[in-house]
A and B are shown apart, each in its own frame.
Chain A
Amino acid sequence: MRRLMMLFVCLLLAASQLLAQNRTIKGTVTDDKGMAIVNASVVVKGGSGGTVTDVNGAFSISVQATAKTLVISSLNFASQEVAISGKNEITVKLEAFTERLDEVVVTGYGTTKRANSTASQGKIGGKDIENLPVSSLDRGFQGKIAGVQSVSGNGQPGSNQDVRIRGIGSFTAAASPLYVVDGIQIVTGDLSSAVTTTNVLSTINPNDIEDISVLKDAAATSIYGSRGANGVVLITTKKGKSGKTQFRFDTELGQTDYASIPDAGRPLKAAEWFDFLREGLVNANFTTAQINTQLASFGYGNGVDINWIDLTTRKGTQQQYNLSMTAGDAKTQVFMSGGYFKQEAANIGADLRRISGNIKVTHNISSKLSVSTNWNIGNVFQNTPPSGAGQFGNPYYVSLTLRPTQNPFNADGSYNIGTGDNLSFPAHYNPLYVIANDKYIVRNTQVFGGGNLDYKILQGLKFTSHIGIQNNSMEENVFQNGFHGDASTTSGAGTNNYTRVFLWDWYNQLDYHTDNILQNKKLSADFKAGYEAIKYNFFRIQAAAQNYPPTVDLPLATNAATATNGSSDAANYTFASVYGNANFSYDTRYALFGSFRRDGSSRFGINNQYGNFWSVGAAWNINNEAFMSNMKAISLLKLRGSYGSTGNAGIGNYLWRQTYGYGANYNGNAGGTFNNIGNTDLTWEKTNQLDIGLDIGLFKNRVNIVVDWYNKLTDGLLFNKPISLTTGFASILSNVGKIENKGIEFTINARAVETRDFSWDIGFNIAHNKNTVIALPNHQDITNGAFRLREGKDIQSFYLRALQGVDPATGLEMWYLDDTRKTTTATYATAALQFLDKSGSPSYFGSLSNTFSYKGFYATGDLYYNYGNYVQDQYSQYFLNGQFPTRGKYSINLTRWQKPGDITTIPKYVYGLANQSAGERALYKGDYIRLRNITIGYRMMDKTLLDKLHISSLNFYVRGTNLVTYAYDKNLPLDPEQGITSQNATSFLNPKTITVGLNVGF
Chain B
Amino acid sequence: MNMKYKIQAAGLALILGFSACKKDFLDQTPYNSVAAGIALKNDADMNAAINGVYASMRNVDLYGLTLILKGDIMSDNCFITTANSGRYLFFNQYNMINNDGNANNVWAAAYATIKNANLIINSTITSNDNVSQLKAEALTVRALMHFELVRNFATPYTADANKPGVPIVLSFDQDALPARKTIKEVYTQIVADLTAAAGMAKKAINTSMVFNSTGVTRTLNTSFISKYAISALLARVYQSMGDWPNAKTAALDVVNNGGFTLTASSGLVAYWANGTPRTDKVETIFEITADANNNLAGNGVNLPGLYLPAAAPYKGSYGDVLANASLYNLYSATDVRKNLITVGTRAGQVSAAYICRKYSGNTTDYDDSKVLRYADVLLILAEAYYNTGDIVNANLTLNTVAKQRDPSFAGWASTGTQVLEDILTERRKELAFEGSRFWDLVRLQRTFTKVQDQDAPQKDMVITPTNTKLVFPIPLNEINVNTTIGQNAGY
Interface residues, chain A, CB within 8 Å of chain B? 284-286, 290, 293-294, 297, 392, 419-422, 426-427, 457-458, 461, 463, 486, 488-490, 493, 508, 510, 529-531, 533, 535, 546-547, 562-566, 569-574, 576, 578, 600-602, 609, 653-654, 657-678, 722-730, 732, 780-783, 827, 829, 833, 878, 884-886, 911-912, 914-915
Segment at the interface with A among B6-14, B190-198, B326-334, B402-410: B6-14
With a CB–CB cut-off of 8 A, which chain B residues contact A419? 309-311
Selected from A294, A669, A728, the residue in CB contact (under 8 A) with B350 is A294
Do A884 and B86 touch (CB < 8 A)? Answer: yes
B206 within 8 A of A: no
B35 within 8 A of A: yes
Residue of A nearest to B85 (CB): A427
Segment at the interface with A among B24-32, B386-394, B417-425, B440-448: B24-32
B34 within 8 A of A: yes
B207 within 8 A of A: no
The 29 listed contacts between A and B (C-beta, < 8 Å) are A285-B458, A290-B350, A293-B455, A297-B348, A420-B311, A427-B83, A457-B6, A458-B3, A493-B298, A508-B13, A535-B25, A658-B36, A659-B33, A659-B36, A665-B294, A666-B54, A671-B50, A671-B53, A673-B52, A674-B116, A727-B169, A727-B176, A728-B169, A729-B115, A730-B477, A829-B96, A833-B99, A886-B347, A912-B82
Chain A nearest CB, measured from B33 CB (Å): 3
Do A678 and B36 touch (CB < 8 A)? Answer: yes
Do A886 and B348 touch (CB < 8 A)? Answer: yes
* Distance, CA A673 to CA B36, complexed state (A): 9
Interchain residue pairs A-B with the least CB separation, the first 6: A728-B115, A671-B51, A426-B347, A661-B33, A660-B39, A659-B33
Q: From known contacts A571-B30, A576-B18, infer whether A725 and B3 are also in contact, taking CB-CB under 8 Å.
A: no
Do A461 and B348 touch (CB < 8 A)? Answer: no
With a CB–CB cut-off of 8 A, which chain A residues contact B7? 457, 461
Do B28 and A421 touch (CB < 8 A)? Answer: no
Q: Which of B269-301 contact A (CB under 8 A)?
A: 277, 289, 291-295, 298-299
Residue of B nearest to A833 (CB): B99
Residue of A nearest to B173 (CB): A727
Selected from B32, B277, B316, B459, the residue in CB contact (under 8 A) with A661 is B32
Segment at the interface with A among B70-78, B106-114, B124-132, B228-236: B106-114
Q: Which of B81-127 contact A (CB under 8 A)?
A: 82-83, 85-86, 89-90, 93, 95-97, 99, 107-108, 111-116, 119
B64 within 8 A of A: no
Segment at the interface with A among B238-246, B252-260, B374-382, B478-486: B478-486
* Distance, CA A293 to CA B18, complexed state (A): 79
Do B111 and A660 touch (CB < 8 A)? Answer: no
With a CB–CB cut-off of 8 A, which chain B residues contact A508? 13-14, 17
Do A672 and B223 touch (CB < 8 A)? Answer: no
With a CB–CB cut-off of 8 A, which chain B residues contact A530? 14
Further contacts, 13 of them, CB under 8 A, given A426-B311, A508-B13, A576-B22 = A419-B311, A426-B83, A461-B7, A489-B310, A489-B363, A531-B18, A546-B363, A562-B364, A661-B34, A664-B52, A664-B56, A671-B49, A885-B82
Most buried by B among A427, A486, A722: A427
* Distance, CA A723 to CA B177, complexed state (A): 8
With a CB–CB cut-off of 8 A, which chain B residues contact A535? 25
With a CB–CB cut-off of 8 A, which chain A residues contact B93? 914
Count A-B contacts at CB 8 Å: 283
* Distance, CA A677 to CA B58, complexed state (A): 21
Residue of A nearest to B113 (CB): A728
B466 within 8 A of A: no
* Distance, CA A657 to CA B30, complexed state (A): 9
With a CB–CB cut-off of 8 A, which chain B residues contact A463? 10
* Distance, CA A677 to CA B35, complexed state (A): 10
* Distance, CA A958 to CA B86, complexed state (A): 47
Q: From known contacts A726-B482, A728-B172, infer whether A602 and B293 are also in contact, taking CB-CB under 8 Å.
A: no
* Distance, CA A904 to CA B86, complexed state (A): 27
Size category, B interface:
35 or more
Contact with A along B206-234 (1 / 0, CB 8 A): 00000000000010010110000000000
B55 within 8 A of A: yes
Chain B nearest CB, measured from A406 CB (Å): 11
Do A564 and B364 touch (CB < 8 A)? Answer: yes
Do A574 and B6 touch (CB < 8 A)? Answer: no
B416 within 8 A of A: no
Chain B nearest CB, measured from A428 CB (Å): 10
B453 within 8 A of A: yes
Do B28 and A602 touch (CB < 8 A)? Answer: yes
* Distance, CA A563 to CA B294, complexed state (A): 11
With a CB–CB cut-off of 8 A, which chain B residues contact A878? 86
B361 within 8 A of A: yes
Chain A nearest CB, measured from B132 CB (Å): 19
With a CB–CB cut-off of 8 A, which chain B residues contact A290? 350, 455-456
Residue of B nearest to A539 (CB): B31
Q: From known contacts A602-B28, A661-B32, infer whether A829 and B95 are also in contact, taking CB-CB under 8 Å.
A: yes
Do B111 and A725 touch (CB < 8 A)? Answer: yes
Do A726 and B32 touch (CB < 8 A)? Answer: no
* Distance, CA A532 to CA B17, complexed state (A): 10
Q: From known contacts A669-B51, A676-B33, infer whether A723 and B174 are also in contact, taking CB-CB under 8 Å.
A: yes
Do B111 and A654 touch (CB < 8 A)? Answer: no
Do B48 and A662 touch (CB < 8 A)? Answer: yes
With a CB–CB cut-off of 8 A, which chain A residues contact B202? none
Residue of B nearest to A293 (CB): B350
B315 within 8 A of A: yes
Residue of A nearest to B348 (CB): A886
B165 within 8 A of A: no
With a CB–CB cut-off of 8 A, which chain A residues contact B3? 457-458
Residue of B nearest to A915 (CB): B95
With a CB–CB cut-off of 8 A, which chain B residues contact A457? 3, 6-7, 10
Do B292 and A563 touch (CB < 8 A)? Answer: yes
Do B292 and A564 touch (CB < 8 A)? Answer: yes
B345 within 8 A of A: yes
With a CB–CB cut-off of 8 A, which chain A residues contact B458? 285
With a CB–CB cut-off of 8 A, which chain B residues contact A833? 99
Chain A nearest CB, measured from B168 CB (Å): 9
B267 within 8 A of A: no
* Distance, CA A578 to CA B19, complexed state (A): 10
Selected from A489, A564, A671, A911, the residue in CB contact (under 8 A) with B316 is A489
Residue of A nearest to B308 (CB): A489
Most buried by A among B10, B33, B167, B294: B33
Most buried by A among B52, B119, B311: B52
B475 within 8 A of A: yes
* Distance, CA A461 to CA B9, complexed state (A): 14
Residue of B nearest to A669 (CB): B51
Do A728 and B51 touch (CB < 8 A)? Answer: no
Residue of B nearest to A532 (CB): B18
Chain A nearest CB, measured from B116 CB (Å): 5
Q: From known contacts A657-B35, A665-B51, A725-B111, infer whether A531 and B30 are also in contact, taking CB-CB under 8 Å.
A: no
Chain A nearest CB, measured from B170 CB (Å): 11
Chain B nearest CB, measured from A195 CB (Å): 15
Chain A nearest CB, measured from B102 CB (Å): 14
With a CB–CB cut-off of 8 A, which chain A residues contact B22? 576, 600
* Distance, CA A722 to CA B455, complexed state (A): 45
With a CB–CB cut-off of 8 A, which chain B residues contact A284? 456, 459
With a CB–CB cut-off of 8 A, which chain B residues contact A669? 47-48, 51, 218
B199 within 8 A of A: no
Residue of B nearest to A671 (CB): B51
* Distance, CA A421 to CA B353, complexed state (A): 12
With a CB–CB cut-off of 8 A, which chain A residues contact B14? 508, 510, 529-531, 578
Residue of B nearest to A426 (CB): B347
Selected from A673, A729, A781, the residue in CB contact (under 8 A) with B53 is A673
Selected from B31, B292, B482, the residue in CB contact (under 8 A) with A570 is B31
Do B51 and A420 touch (CB < 8 A)? Answer: no
Selected from B51, B90, B97, the residue in CB contact (under 8 A) with A664 is B51
Residue of A nearest to B86 (CB): A884
Residue of B nearest to A603 (CB): B28
* Distance, CA A427 to CA B347, complexed state (A): 8
